[in-house]
Amino acid sequence: MPSHKSNCAKHSSNSAKRWLISGHVQSVGFRPYVFKLAQEHDLHGWVKNLADGVEIIASGNSHSLAEFENALLLSPPPLARPRLVSCDYFSGKIPEKFSIQTNSNEKSNGHGYVLPDFCICDDCLQELHDPNNRRYRYPFINCTQCGPRYTVINSLPYARCNTTMHSFELCPACATEYNNPADRRFHAEPIACPDCGPTLEFRSGNESVRSNTKTIDHTIKALREGKIVAAKGIGGYHLMCDAHNEEAVARLRERKKRPDKPFAVLFPRRGSDDLTMVRQHADTDDISADMLCHARRPIVLVPKADTFSLATNIAPRLNQLGVMLPHSPLQELISNDFDGPLIATSANISGEPVLITESEVERHLNKVADAFLHHDREIIHPADDSVFSTVSNKSSAIRLGRGIAPLELELPFELSAPILALGCQMKNTVAMAWDKRVVISPHIGELGSARSISLMTQIIKEMQNFYNVTPQIITCDAHPGFSYQQWLKNQEAKVIKVLHHHAHASALTGENNINEPLLVFTWDGLGYGDDESLWGGETFYGQPGQWHRVASFRPWKAAGGDKVPQQPWRSAAALHWSNNQTWQTDDTDMAYQAWQKDINCHNTTAVGRLFDAAAATLGLVNKATFEAHAPSWLESIAEGKGRAVTLPIEEDTQGIWRTDWQPLLELLNNNNSSIKQRSADFHSTLAENIIQQALLAREKFKVNKIGLSGGVFQNRRLSDETIILLEQHGFEAITHSTVPCNDAGISYGQIIEAINK
Amino acid sequence: MTKHEYVTLAHGNGGCLMRELIEQVISKPLANSQLNINNDSAILSGLNITGDRELVMSSDSFTVQPWKFPGGDIGSLAAHGVINDLAVAAAEPSHFSLNIIIEEGLKISTLEQAIESLARTCKEHDIAVVCGDTKVVPRGEGSGLYLAVTGIGTKPASIRLGMEQIKPGDKIIVSGSVGDHGAAIMLARESFGLQSSLKSDAASILPISRALLSFSGLRFMRDPTRGGLATVAHEIKHATQLGAILKEEAIPISEAVRSMCEMLGYDPLYLACEGRLVAVVAADQADMALEAIRQSGDYTDAAIIGEIRNQDDDVCIETEIGGLRILPELENDPLPRIC
């Protein structure tokens, strides 16, 4: 959508004008669109790409110029997002025709855009399946309306020579399309065909085949035989296997050392709306259907259908399934030929960035994959699949990745100095802000790994190059032990440390463009607090730069350091011990003594740990094998309407309202009630607690806007229930949508917090 | 460091705060050409002795709670500690001085046992305690018993060991399971009242160092005491900028240490050893060096556990599935960072 209206002065008859346009305007068919428009209005002049945008010079009678100008930003091609930078009268020499000029070597001045990757468009899809087309079944077909972008771009301006396609010389047929303004492949930078473009290679054991046709047959055959194939995609490799084959899925779990973590499923497009096969196994609603079919093609979390009949070990004990449709022509061919759902999970080493090179994949996954499907179009930037969910009838980002990132957002005001935000330790993203722009990187991973840190520093360097900005300020988490602290020591920029939960609250406020004080619940698993405890159940009143911690939970002591989040039983034990109750003592005697003696103990108020405690108390999960393992199993088992118990709230000596978690223990240990019911009761009790806190805040601060941020609110049951209650009480619920509510949104929140300090 | 007005316990844990304290407060005013804070001992190059040997001096002080623990006591620990510091400098210890600081109220029998145990260890290694000093401080001004030992020995002048000799690609060898001493002390100190097979590894590593001295590819030796194995890798990184990769599967850790760490949430790679040797050896001699260690005594757990990496690489542990986890430098009261 055009985000700026023309602000040109009134025009006189027969004149020439110059427009500078930025935004998403390069290689999305914008120049041909301008060309066509100029011809329709009988104008002459030119349109050309600058490093950071497009320049248009047009001359003609004043009426035509005015119509041209009005149309310019109104109906651009679907992928274009033009923004008017300036508009002046032009007094230079005007040629006799209108043309598209192609050469420009200007350097970026910070107005350039790096577009995310797009899924295959309808036109290319049709050609892909048309036996008479020269790109019939060509796995790298693309045009200006689709194809890879971010993952193949080396530098700006976006031109073939600055992408990983530079090594493929265009054949005459492709060159003709590339140079023809009337063709939809005019300056489609990754343009390719079987004669001149990338080629697939299939490897299994000693067998190796290079071909764009046979390799897909080999892949399908391997998948049908129950084998695991590592296939190179747009932003990295996927591990694939037959989603109906329980034994194959089990083998993948065993080899990847992932006993429980849910796998995403890739479905072939079937039926008039592409979703017929998806619906056999998952209950899509309008919002999830839209997201699934969107050009971003994320993984969407959708409730399992009653008719779900895929391998039961795909998403064990969860009531949701991660579903996606093919995004690249290669995935389209594989999933169409396979004619059934496939597991498609990121090929990485747990917590690390997705693998992108042939050699890395063969080295690290030689014991995981039975076969490899490579190709020779190099990936520069890894991008995992994006993940979305539906919360309270709204799409909600969980992971920013392929198709979404780099994610652009607008700041409420212009910055005087560029700022870099380093984000969080887990689910790291980084963000760069300058002028009125913020760009959030794709998901990087868990920073405890050397590869993640190195990717983080690489992305930071590239952001500086892409946009020609040098951060003068670096903002990061206040936690002293995050892995980027070492890197930070060598930076010269001024450092602004932001408390983790302030960043959550500011991310929510910034995303929703709120300019008045509000109450924000920031509930998650852990964040460094300014009182030597580990926060995670905090409620703030205020706005970015001025958050007042008005409420929290009664702190409890947990033993075991980083083992606490990995072993939910520790949270359950900590709550029971704090309440003078026993906790199963098979092999926990030493832990109990450590807890008593304060060995490796920390005080916390993290609601995420209450979910862990609940799951362990109900006997669901003692040791977590993936993040949010216990909370997601707890959520999945809940059934029916929950009966809320009121948790007492008391003001402490510093005036902070403290919710006492103690009644939760009684609720969870009530063996007269089913586990399903107790889980539902637990969720309802926390939703009710939010209402109680909000009512107190309304009385004291006259506040009506209630924000929800932090990873706990990925829990749909809790969020949906809370939002309904808030609305029933006349509150306005403010939630995340574009920016993840989890720690992936922290980098953005740090920027918003830092610029308001 | 500059932020700290007072010394904290973390200034003594072997980690980054301690290094900063030594660098900024202690070694600066004392600076001279022979003081190298990266080593636990010094070669007294100004003093001529006969033949092709050089004098080496090392000093250490000992305080441990409880004073007696499974596998040793403060006396044997003090003797082994200084023997080992000299051993990793390629020296044969010969003479010790002994300073004793006693808190009022200590049982004479405790002192007797501690000194007896120190004497026995010295005798076993043919070391003479030749001078000393004894002080008694008022109750409350010390925690029982402190021993400070300075040791002198000689080493072949031709052998040059040190972190500056380390090169990328060199292999890292450890002589036995790690963390046993730290775990045993913790268990004994907190009197968990649990039956456990945990025993300190406190012992002399002289047999091992002797076995390695014949290798031309021997670059560096260290006994991983405070801060454990991970801290040795960080000390190398700090002095040379060279990173290291340790292989999780290859590092010997006893089941008892593993399960205690699992229960308490500690990482055994940061727990002290008092009878282990870490050697950095040229890659092409690593297998032979390992064999030599195994031949030199009951060191069946000795293993090649990793290798030195390039300039500016991190200190990492390679997990079983090929992940590279960064091993952070030991911090002041490490806070959980996983959410």
Q: What is the 3-state secondary structure (H, E, C) of A525-542?
A: EEEECCCCCEEEEEEEEE
**Chain B partners of A351 at a C-beta cutoff of 8 Å?**
323
How close does chain A come to B320, measured CA to CA in Å?
Answer: 10
Chain segment A550-575, per-residue pLDDT in tens: 999 999 999 999 999 999 999 999 99
Q: Which residue has the tokens 């240490």?
A: B257
Residue of B nearest to A527 (CA): B339
Are A352 and B324 in contact (CB < 8 Å)? yes
Are A426 and B339 in contact (CB < 8 Å)? yes
Q: How far apart are CA A510 and CA A24, in angstroms?
A: 22
The answer to whether residues A719 and A380 touch, using CB atoms and an 8 Å cutoff, is: no
Around A618, how many Cα atoms within 13 Å sit in the side-chain half-sphere? 29
**Chain A partners of B339 at a C-beta cutoff of 8 Å?**
424-426, 524-527, 536, 565, 606, 608, 711, 743
- The arithmetic mean of pLDDT across residues B317-336, rounded, is 83
The answer to whether residues A313 and A250 touch, using CB atoms and an 8 Å cutoff, is: yes
Are B264 and A594 in contact (CB < 8 Å)? yes
Answer whether residue A10 shows pLDDT above 50.
no
Residue of B nearest to A360 (CA): B322
Sequence-distant (6+) residues with CB within 8 A of A715 are: A611, A631, A632, A635, A683
Write the DSSP string, A168-204. SPPPHHHHHHHH-TTSTTTT-TT---TTTS--EEEEE
Sequence-distant (6+) residues with CB within 8 A of B24 are: B1
How close does chain B come to A144, measured CA to CA in Å?
Answer: 38
Chain segment B257-296, per-residue pLDDT in tens: 999 999 899 999 999 999 999 999 999 999 999 999 999 9
pLDDT band at B339, cuts 50/70/90? low
| Residue percentage of chain A with pLDDT more than 90 | 84
Nearest residue to A686 via CA among A641, A714, A645:
A645
Are B339 and A560 in contact (CB < 8 Å)? no
The answer to whether residues A143 and A188 touch, using CB atoms and an 8 Å cutoff, is: yes
Q: Which of B264, B320, B331 sits opposite A560 (nearest CB)?
A: B264
Give the per-residue pLDDT at A6: 43
Give the per-residue pLDDT at A9: 43
pLDDT band at A11, cuts 50/70/90? very low
Give the per-residue pLDDT at A4: 43
pLDDT band at A681, cuts 50/70/90? very high
Are B190 and A597 in contact (CB < 8 Å)? yes
Are A349 and B316 in contact (CB < 8 Å)? no
Task: Respond yes or no on whether the N-terminal peptide bond of residue A406 is cis (omega within 30° of 0).
Answer: yes
CB pairs under 8 A between A and B: 112
- Given CB atoms, is A77 within the 8 Å cutoff of chain B? no
Q: Which of B266, B321, B334 sits opposite A349 (nearest CB)?
A: B321
- Given CB atoms, is A481 within the 8 Å cutoff of chain B? yes
Give the per-residue pLDDT at B333: 61
How close does chain B come to A39, measured CA to CA in Å?
Answer: 58
Answer whether residue A25 shows pLDDT above 50.
yes
Chain segment B181-234, per-residue pLDDT in tens: 999 998 888 866 666 778 999 999 999 999 999 999 999 999 999 899 999 999
Answer whether residue A736 shows pLDDT above 70.
yes
- The arithmetic mean of pLDDT across residues B160-168, rounded, is 96
How close does chain B come to A351, measured CA to CA in Å?
Answer: 8
**Chain A partners of B325 at a C-beta cutoff of 8 Å?**
448-450
- Dmax over CA atoms of chain B, in Å, equals 62
pLDDT band at A1, cuts 50/70/90? very low
Chain segment A580-619, per-residue pLDDT in tens: 999 876 667 888 989 999 999 999 999 999 999 999 999 9
| Residue percentage of chain B with pLDDT more than 90 | 71
- The arithmetic mean of pLDDT across residues B104-124, rounded, is 95
Give the per-residue pLDDT at A2: 41
- The structure tokens listed for A734 are 């403010």
How close does chain A come to B243, measured CA to CA in Å?
Answer: 11
Which of A563, A567, A626 is most worth mutating to test chain B (most B CB atoms within 10 A of its CB)? A563
pLDDT band at A723, cuts 50/70/90? very high
- Given CB atoms, is A479 within the 8 Å cutoff of chain B? yes
Q: How far apart are CA B234 and CA B328, in angstroms?
A: 8
How close does chain A come to B293, measured CA to CA in Å?
Answer: 32
Q: How far apart are CA A542 and CA A548, in angstroms?
A: 6
The whole-angstrom distance between residue A745's C-alpha and the CA centroid of its chain comes to 9
pLDDT band at A295, cuts 50/70/90? confident
Which of A427, A500, A599 is most worth mutating to test chain B (most B CB atoms within 10 A of its CB)? A599
Are B338 and A743 in contact (CB < 8 Å)? no
Give the per-residue pLDDT at A579: 96
Answer whether residue A496 shows pLDDT above 90.
yes
- Given CB atoms, is A355 within the 8 Å cutoff of chain B? no
Q: Is this model's pTM higher than 0.90 or not?
A: yes
Answer whether residue B1 shows pLDDT above 80.
no
Are A479 and B190 in contact (CB < 8 Å)? no
CB contact burial A244-258 (16+ within 10 A = b; e otherwise): bbeebbebbbebbeb
- The arithmetic mean of pLDDT across residues A656-661, rounded, is 98
**Chain A partners of B322 at a C-beta cutoff of 8 Å?**
349, 363-364
**Chain A partners of B260 at a C-beta cutoff of 8 Å?**
590
**Chain B partners of A590 at a C-beta cutoff of 8 Å?**
192, 194, 260, 263-264
Are B263 and A349 in contact (CB < 8 Å)? no
pLDDT band at B3, cuts 50/70/90? low
- Given CB atoms, is A457 within the 8 Å cutoff of chain B? no
Nearest residue to A528 via CA among B265, B336, B328:
B336
Between A139 and B196, the more confident residue is A139
**Chain A partners of B316 at a C-beta cutoff of 8 Å?**
450
Residue of B nearest to A562 (CA): B336
Length of chain A: 757
- The arithmetic mean of pLDDT across residues A262-272, rounded, is 98
Q: Which of A525, A600, A711 sits opposite B266 (nearest CB)?
A: A600
- The arithmetic mean of pLDDT across residues B120-139, rounded, is 94
- Given CB atoms, is A594 within the 8 Å cutoff of chain B? yes
- Given CB atoms, is A453 within the 8 Å cutoff of chain B? yes
ipTM over 0.85: yes
The answer to whether residues A628 and A522 touch, using CB atoms and an 8 Å cutoff, is: no
* Average pLDDT across chain A, whole number: 94
**Chain A partners of B13 at a C-beta cutoff of 8 Å?**
none
Write the DSSP string, A589-635. HHHHHHHHTTTTEEEE--HHHHHHHHHHHTTS-SS-SSTTHHHHHHH
Answer whether residue B324 shows pLDDT above 50.
yes
Q: Which of B194, B325, B334 sits opposite A449 (nearest CB)?
A: B325
- Given CB atoms, is A528 within the 8 Å cutoff of chain B? yes
Sequence-distant (6+) residues with CB within 8 A of A268 are: A277, A326, A335, A336, A338, A339, A340, A341
- Given CB atoms, is A537 within the 8 Å cutoff of chain B? no
**Chain A partners of B193 at a C-beta cutoff of 8 Å?**
593
Write the DSSP string, B118-151. HHHHHHHTT-EEEEEEEEEE-TTSS-SEEEEEEE
Q: How far apart are CA B41 and CA B88, in angstroms?
A: 9
Q: Which of A447, A524, A597 sits opposite B339 (nearest CB)?
A: A524
Q: Which of A449, A536, A599 sits opposite B323 (nearest CB)?
A: A449
CB contact burial A375-411 (16+ within 10 A = b; e otherwise): bbbbbbbbbbbbbbbbbbeebbbbbbbbbbbbbbbeb
- Given CB atoms, is A256 within the 8 Å cutoff of chain B? yes
Q: Which of B264, B265, B337 sits opposite A479 (nearest CB)?
A: B337
Answer whether residue A3 shows pLDDT above 60.
no
- The arithmetic mean of pLDDT across residues B149-154, rounded, is 96
Give the per-residue pLDDT at A112: 84
Q: Which of B266, B323, B336 sits opposite A351 (nearest CB)?
A: B323
How close does chain B come to A612, measured CA to CA in Å?
Answer: 11
pLDDT band at B332, cuts 50/70/90? low
* Average pLDDT across chain B, whole number: 91
- Given CB atoms, is A663 within the 8 Å cutoff of chain B? no
